[in-house]
Amino acid sequence: MTPAPPSTSTIYHNPACGTSRNTLAMMRESGENPEVIEYLVTPPSRETLVALIAAMGIPPRDLLRRKGTPFAELGLDDPGLSDDELVDAMVAHPILINRPIVVTPRGAALCRPSEKVLALLDNPVASFTKEDGEVVAPGGPSK
């Protein structure tokens, strides 16, 4: 058996999330052998999280997950909270980090919807059928 090529991509993954599973499957079907980081098991450090946010070019608020998290209880919808406070909340409660985050030599992105990953891949699949039956291709989704 030939060993897999070294990873040049990383996915911050939650196997319980359909979007994350679809993204990982698209990466693998595109020939990628990503490093898979189950971020709820192995959360990113504050430094790593700040670097990911910078690489994606988004404000921390755009990375916050609201559904199924302590977002409301923590009052994170308060527009007066600083970026540092929002990052601190994500470090303290990794479930607040939206997923999946993908990093490749082409860049980094929050891949919601999952087909956003195709722009980050050197050899994206010609088409992919998601778990829900939706067919996507590098040119966009189709039914």
The Cα–Cα gap between 41 and 55 comes to 22
Contact in structure between 119 and 39 (CB atoms under 8 Å)? no
| Complete domains list, the chain, with CATH | 19-142 (3.40.30.10)
Contact in structure between 33 and 123 (CB atoms under 8 Å)? no
The Cα–Cα gap between 116 and 31 comes to 16
The Cα–Cα gap between 1 and 3 comes to 6
Concerning whether 17 is annotated as a catalytic residue, the answer is yes
State the pLDDT at residue 139. Answer: 61
Pairing relationship of beta strands 10-13 and 101-104 according to DSSP bridges: antiparallel
| Residue 54: CB atoms within 10 Å | 10
What phi, psi does 15 have (nearest 5°)?
Answer: -65, -15
Q: What is the pTM of this model?
A: 0.90
Closest residue by Cα to residue 26 from 39, 11, 37, 8: 11
Q: Which of 9, 10, 17, 76 is catalytic?
A: 17
Q: Which two tokens stand for residue 1?
A: 């058996």
State the pLDDT at residue 137. Answer: 77
pLDDT 10s digit of each residue in the chain, 143 long? 544 445 689 999 999 999 999 999 999 999 999 999 999 999 999 999 999 999 999 999 999 999 999 999 999 999 999 999 999 999 999 999 999 999 999 999 999 999 999 999 999 998 999 999 999 877 654 44
State the pLDDT at residue 42. Answer: 97
